Amino acid sequence: MGQESSDQVSALAFPPGFLWGAATSAYQIEGAVAEDGRGESIWDRFCRMPGRVAGGASGEVACDHYHRWPDDVALMEELGLRAYRFSIAWPRIFPTGGGRPNQAGIDFYRRLVAALRERGIVPMATLYHWDLPQALQERGGWASRETALRFAEYAACLFERLGHDVPLWATINEPMLVAYAGYAGGTKAPGLRRPRLLLAVAHHLLLAHGLAVGAYRQLVPAPSPGAHAGIGIALNLRPCHPASPQPGDVRAAATLDALTNRLFLEPLFRGRYPEAALRFFGRRTLRLPALPGDLAVIGAPIDFLGLNIYTRTLATRDRNPLRGVRALPGPGPRTAMGWEIYPPCITEALALATEYTPLPLYITENGAAFADRPGPDGAIHDPSRIAYLRDHLAAAHKALAAGTNLRGYFVWSLLDNFEWEDGYGPRFGLVRVDYATLARTPRASASWYRAVIARNGLA
Q: Which residue ranges make up the site for ligand FCB (CB under 6 A)? A: 25, 28, 173-174, 177, 236, 308, 365, 412, 419-420, 428
Q: Is there a catalytic annotation at residue 365? A: yes
User: Please, what is the Cα angle at 55 between 52 and 56, to 5 degrees?
Assistant: 55
For residue 300, what is the DSSP state?
-
Could you tell me the smallest distance in angstroms from the CB atom of residue 291 to ligand FCB?
29
Whether 283 and 264 have beta carbons less than 8 Å apart is answered as no
Cβ atoms within 10 Å of 231's Cβ, excluding its own: 25
By beta-carbon proximity to ligand FCB, the closer residue of 43 and 108 is 43
Active-site residue (options: 348, 365, 419, 421)? 365
Cβ atoms within 10 Å of 439's Cβ, excluding its own: 9
Query: Computed over its alpha carbons, how large is the radius of gyration of the chain?
Result: 21
Active-site residue (options: 40, 174, 266, 419)? 174
By beta-carbon proximity to ligand FCB, the closer residue of 236 and 313 is 236
Closest CA to 430 of 375, 372, 391: 372
- As a whole number of angstroms, the distance between CA 388 and CA 310 comes to 10
By beta-carbon proximity to ligand FCB, the closer residue of 182 and 457 is 182
Could you tell me the smallest distance in angstroms from the CB atom of residue 338 to ligand FCB?
12
By beta-carbon proximity to ligand FCB, the closer residue of 144 and 261 is 261
Q: Is there a catalytic annotation at residue 4? A: no
Could you tell me the smallest distance in angstroms from the CB atom of residue 347 to ligand FCB?
20
What are the helix (H) ranges across 53-144?
A: 65-79, 90-93, 103-118, 134-137
- As a whole number of angstroms, the distance between CA 105 and CA 81 comes to 25
At a CB cut-off of 8 Å and minimum separation 6, what does 56 contact? 47, 50, 423
Could you tell me the smallest distance in angstroms from the CB atom of residue 263 to ligand FCB?
16
Could you tell me the smallest distance in angstroms from the CB atom of residue 132 to ligand FCB?
14
Could you tell me the smallest distance in angstroms from the CB atom of residue 281 to ligand FCB?
23
* DSSP output for 248-294: HHHHHHHHHHIIIIIHHHHHHHHSS--HHHHHHHHHTT----PPTTH
By beta-carbon proximity to ligand FCB, the closer residue of 371 and 454 is 371
* DSSP output for 316-385: EE-SSTTT-EEEE--SS-B-TTS-B--THHHHHHHHHHHHH--S-EEEEEE---------TTS----HHH
- As a whole number of angstroms, the distance between CA 124 and CA 157 comes to 17
User: Cβ-count burial of 145 within 10 angstroms (0-12 exposed, 13-18 middle, 19+ buried)?
Assistant: middle
By beta-carbon proximity to ligand FCB, the closer residue of 365 and 416 is 365
For 188, phi then psi, to 5°, come to -125, 160
By beta-carbon proximity to ligand FCB, the closer residue of 29 and 400 is 29
Could you tell me the smallest distance in angstroms from the CB atom of residue 365 to ligand FCB?
6
Distance of CA 127 to the CA centre of its chain: 11
Could you tell me the smallest distance in angstroms from the CB atom of residue 367 to ligand FCB?
7
By beta-carbon proximity to ligand FCB, the closer residue of 25 and 102 is 25
Length of the chain: 459
Handedness of CA 427, 430, 433, 438 (dihedral sign): negative
Whether 333 and 391 have beta carbons less than 8 Å apart is answered as no
* Residues identified as active-site: 174, 365
